Amino acid sequence: MGLMEGKTALVFGLANDKSIAWGITQAFHREGAKIGISYAGEMLEKRVRPLAAEVGADFVEQCDVSSDEQIAAVAEKAKKHFGQVDVIVHSIGFANKDELQGNFYDTSRAGFHLAMDISVFSFVALAKAFQPIMRRGGALLTLTYYGSVKVAPNYNMMGVAKAALEASTRYLARDFGPQGIRVNAISAGPVRTLAAMGVSGFRDMHRNFAEMAPMRENITIEDCGNAAVYLCSDMSAHVTGEIHYVDSGFNVMAMPEPDQFKDKE
Ligand code: NAD
Ligand code: 0WE
């Protein structure tokens, strides 16, 4: 029997078959969950519909999370379609391209607001919108990155947004605890997704990461999917407010291996 049998999961942030959201959706499907999908805009629909069909999802709804109306609408539709839901996955992040290079202090007021709105507030807003239809024993999950804790050159505004997202995860854990709903985040190592490939210098970063990580390997969307099954199923009952690293151990290293310094000489 699957670990998510009898659970309904709604996944936000599916763009294509490279998305972390797709790794999570496939793992949930494998474990017997009923799936609903939400995507950002019309441009993605032709990519997302066939993926939804692969996992037998008949709830496929557009939702731009910068709109309160669209969030309210998708929650209303989910209530009509499913009645109650068990799991919400938030796999969404966005900053203007100019905020992801150069000095952090060059971040504009509007750019700061946009990144915080799409990458952080949307998780809080989804939590609130779905709270009335979430079942006891359910879970909320978001995706973060280590640039929230330590400085990752050029991650800049997104690092600050991820720090706020991780703090939001802890505050939401407190809010939802009494309802028996857990709130956690996966902090993933670099993955070659649509969002990541839009970042200059990502290829080199992706390679250097694998060289520095204890396991000497990059991570996959399947790794994220399996960790998400743990965090959103009863396997992690009483685990809440956690930032769970899926990063080949990268975050435990204080510096590269000595031989990696020598290479540069
Ligand atoms: P992706 O491009 O596949 O997913 C990002 C998603 O955000 C897309 O589906 C996009 O449509 C959605 N989105 C952006 N603006 C939106 C809006 N206004 N409304 C609704 N949806 C919107 O890339 P990904 O790497 O799978 O990103 C998913 C999450 O994982 C992000 O939070 C990202 O920060 C995080 N993450 C990514 C990596 C990585 O290296 N790829 C590492 C750690 C964490
Ligand atoms: O969270 C992310 C990327 C998020 C992202 C990517 C883009 C590219 C296109 C947010 N907004 C945009 N806006 C765009 O216009 N990651 C964890 C991947 C990532 O991005 C980096 C990284 C890593 C890792 C940027 C700089 C340095 C490292």
Is the pLDDT reported for residue 264 higher than 70?
A: no
pLDDT (tens digit per residue) in 5-56? 999 999 999 999 999 999 999 999 999 999 999 999 999 999 999 999 999 9
In a domain, 2, yes or no: no
Range of the domain at 102: 8-262
In a domain, 206, yes or no: yes
- d(CA 31, ligand 1 centre) in Å: 23
Q: pTM above the 0.85 mark?
A: yes
Active site residue 145: yes
- Specify the residue with its C-alpha closest to ligand 2, atom 9: 198
CB within 8 A of 222, min separation 6: which ones? 23, 26, 27
In a domain, 3, yes or no: no
What would you report as the CA-atom Rg of the chain, rounded to the nearest whole angstrom? 18
Is the pLDDT reported for residue 261 higher than 80?
A: no
pLDDT (tens digit per residue) in 132-175? 999 999 999 999 999 999 999 999 999 999 999 999 999 999 99
Atom from ligand 2 closest to the CA of residue 196: 18
DSSP label at residue 107: -
In a domain, 1, yes or no: no
Residue 255 contacts residue 264 (beta carbons within 8 Å): no
In a domain, 135, yes or no: yes
- When pLDDT is cut at 50, 70 and 90, the band that residue 181 belongs to is very high
Q: What is the CATH number of the domain that holds 45?
A: 3.40.50.720
Task: Count up the domains in the chain and report the number.
Answer: 1
In a domain, 231, yes or no: yes
Active site residue 155: yes
- Determine the average pLDDT of the residues in 116-134: 98
Residue 43: φ, ψ to 5°:
-55, -30
Residue among 22, 62, 65, 91 to mutate when testing ligand 1 (max atoms within 8 A of CB): 91
Q: Which one from 39, 145, 146, 245 is the annotated catalytic residue? A: 145
In a domain, 256, yes or no: yes
Residue 89 contacts residue 10 (beta carbons within 8 Å): yes
